[in-house]
A and B are shown apart, each in its own frame.
Chain A
Amino acid sequence: MGNQSCVKILNEWDIVAARQLGRNVAKELGFGTVDQARITTAISELARNIYLYAGQGQICIEKIYDGGKAGLKIIAADNGPGINDIRQVMEDGFSTSGGLGAGLPGVKRLMDEFDIDSSPGSGTDIIATKWLR
């Protein structure tokens, strides 16, 4: 309860709002500056992907607790076109938009856990978690 907040991604400004939300929650949880930057960057990548490829969707930030551990979970969800070949989009440098193709493989490295669920026609759900050490 009260552990999850969401931002709808409809335009570029919502990308800024999503990463600000993430940074605030990361601060509240006590993440250091480097992890705050990792989390902010990961949210920015996922929010921009939603805006660019799905048109709209949502980013939720959740505080999670597991035993004695606290963490931050990013849930990025859209009902866009989905991804055909997940292995391909997880490769560094793969982009269909002339980008660096750094986003998804980058988020995987920036966060501790990364899970992607996507198929053509059914949108994309990505969950990424960072644990407080």
Chain B
Amino acid sequence: MRIPILKLHDCLLVSIQWELDDQTALQFQEDLLHKIHETSANGVVIDITSIDFIDSFIAKVLGDVISMSKLMGAKVVITGIQPAVAITLIELGIGLEDVLTALDLEKGLEKLQQELGD
């Protein structure tokens, strides 16, 4: 199963709707980078409202795809981190410090617009 990546103006929207297995996570990493390249998108919002846990592997894949996107010139905002996910991530020792986040998709898009400066 592949995670759909939608284009909206010059941004990409991703909503992760089901529990990520390792293959899906790695496939997504690749797909997103290709899509950024194809569409010249300069911003990405990844909504993880439906995700109810993140382990160190998924955290690494997410963190890596954010760094990789940045290398290509696209900013990523993560939205919809549930309370339980925030708590377990911190307990795992993963702060995702440099990652842009917002409460929901709408606020995520706003944040991207601010970041991209228009």
Which residue numbers of A lie inside 8 Å of B, CB to CB?
12-13, 15-16, 19, 33-34, 36-38, 40-41, 44-45, 48, 92, 99-100, 102-103, 105-106, 109-110
Instruction: Name the residue on A nearest B91 (C-beta).
Output: A109
- The proximity string for B residues 70-82 relative to A, scoring 1 for CB distances below 8 Å and 0 otherwise, is 0000000000001
Instruction: Name the residue on B nearest A101 (C-beta).
Output: B56
B43 smallest CB distance to A (angstroms): 26
A68 smallest CB distance to B (angstroms): 26
Q: Does A44 lie within 8 Å of B55, measured CB to CB?
A: yes
| A102 with B52, Cβ < 8 A, contacts A12-B21, A16-B19 known | no
Q: Does A102 lie within 8 Å of B22, measured CB to CB?
A: no
Question: Is B59 on the interface with A (CB-CB < 8 A)?
Answer: yes
Q: Does A33 lie within 8 Å of B56, measured CB to CB?
A: no
Within 8 A of A (CB), among B4-24: 19, 21-23
B36 smallest CB distance to A (angstroms): 24
B84 cross-chain contacts in A, Cβ below 8 A? 33-34, 36-38
Q: Does B22 lie within 8 Å of A110, measured CB to CB?
A: no
Q: Does B22 lie within 8 Å of A15, measured CB to CB?
A: yes
Q: Does A41 lie within 8 Å of B88, measured CB to CB?
A: yes
A12 cross-chain contacts in B, Cβ below 8 A? 21-23
Q: Does B85 lie within 8 Å of A37, measured CB to CB?
A: yes
Q: Does B21 lie within 8 Å of A45, measured CB to CB?
A: no
Q: Does B93 lie within 8 Å of A102, measured CB to CB?
A: yes
